[in-house]
Amino acid sequence: MSAGLRLTVVPIELPDILVEQLPSGGEAEWAELGVTVPAVGGEVSIGVFDGLQIAPGMGGIGGLSLLGSASVLPFDVFDTDGFDESDIAFGIGARVNLLEESFYVPGVSLSLMRRSLSEVRFGDICPSGIITGGSSGDTLESGTCAGSGDAGEFTFDLTNWSTRLVASKRFLGAGATLGLGRDGYDSTVGFGFRAPPPAGSGPAVAFRVRDIDVGSSRWTVFGNLSFTFLIASIAAEAGWVQGDSPIGEFSDFQSNFDPGDGSWYGGVGARISL
């Protein structure tokens, strides 16, 4: 059995939908908002079966481990702009060793994980509740808002099925990993905006769209190099992730970003083991 605990802090940039933007040249231009997203997570691996050895230096074949993970996004603790509640993510899965690493051969494993994240909300156009008008239904709510609120909002939850085929090899303090992955995502999203009253005074106009189901799946190829010295490790990772088609209703929107293009990514990190 093995377990680990980690703290991750990721800076991201989002459209600043919390503040009303004035149109420029007939089009609204959204400023960018820098947000620091924290996460405290833990992982556990429990060995169920050690696997079979078919020859000296070639063992662990068919070894089985159960995997679990839990993470908390403590937005309220870090006072993150636009986020006012902590959110929780859970994961459960299993890993099968196809070959255990030895001096002669790399370790090869296949894993499957299911992760779920509870609803995350950024902004709130009408905390006091929208007074609905004539255009309301299962997914659309519109009307007026007498109280204060943000200029925009969005919400989402996430369910992820993740499969990874990984080969890794260590020599002295150095390590190398190559992997192939397949990810499937399902999410229920919503968004909303508010506008000043048409007459210049009175309650603001607000509308909210909710419970829109979206999904995506894609392949990824990745690799990393690491070096460990005593209790400290440093690592560098790079990879490529496949693109996907845009959401149907937004496919005609003009944008410099094409979700159908694949993307390269990379990162560096350090870890201290106690």
Q: Is residue 57 part of a domain?
A: yes
Residue 22: what pLDDT? 53
Query: How far is 112 from 101, CA to CA, in rounded Å?
Result: 20
Q: Is residue 10 part of a domain?
A: yes
Q: What is the pLDDT of residues 152-185, one digit of tens each?
A: 888 999 999 999 999 999 988 899 999 999 999 9
Residue 271: what pLDDT? 78
Residue 186: what pLDDT? 94
What percent of the chain stands above pLDDT 90?
33
pTM of the model: 0.78
Distances (CA, A) of 159 to 14, 65, 186, 222, 234: 22, 22, 5, 22, 30
Q: Is residue 142 part of a domain?
A: no
Query: How far is 29 from 150, CA to CA, in rounded Å?
Result: 16
Residue ranges making up the domain that contains 54: 1-118
- Judged on CB neighbours under 10 Å (0-12, 13-18, 19+), 54 is exposed
What contacts 195, CB < 8 A, 6 or more positions away? Answer: 204, 205, 206
Residue type, 152: G
The mean pLDDT value for 246-262 works out to 63
Q: Is residue 54 part of a domain?
A: yes
Q: Is residue 63 part of a domain?
A: yes
Place of tokens 């994980």: 113
Q: How many CB atoms lie within 10 A of CB 36?
A: 13
Among the ranges given (24-28, 90-94, 239-243), the one the predictor scored with the smallest mean pLDDT:
24-28
- Determine contact, residues 233/270, Cβ cutoff 8 Å: yes
Query: How far is 270 from 234, CA to CA, in rounded Å?
Result: 4
Classify residue 58 by its DSSP letter.
Answer: B
- Greater confidence (259 vs 235) lies with 235
| Number of domains composing the chain | 1
Q: Is residue 103 part of a domain?
A: yes
Q: Is residue 264 part of a domain?
A: no
Q: How many CB atoms lie within 10 A of CB 145?
A: 21
Q: Is residue 146 part of a domain?
A: no
Among the ranges given (65-79, 106-120, 135-149, 158-172), the one the predictor scored with the smallest mean pLDDT:
135-149
Helices (H) and strands (E) in the chain, counts: 1, 14
Choose among 84, 76, 204: nearest CA to 155: 84
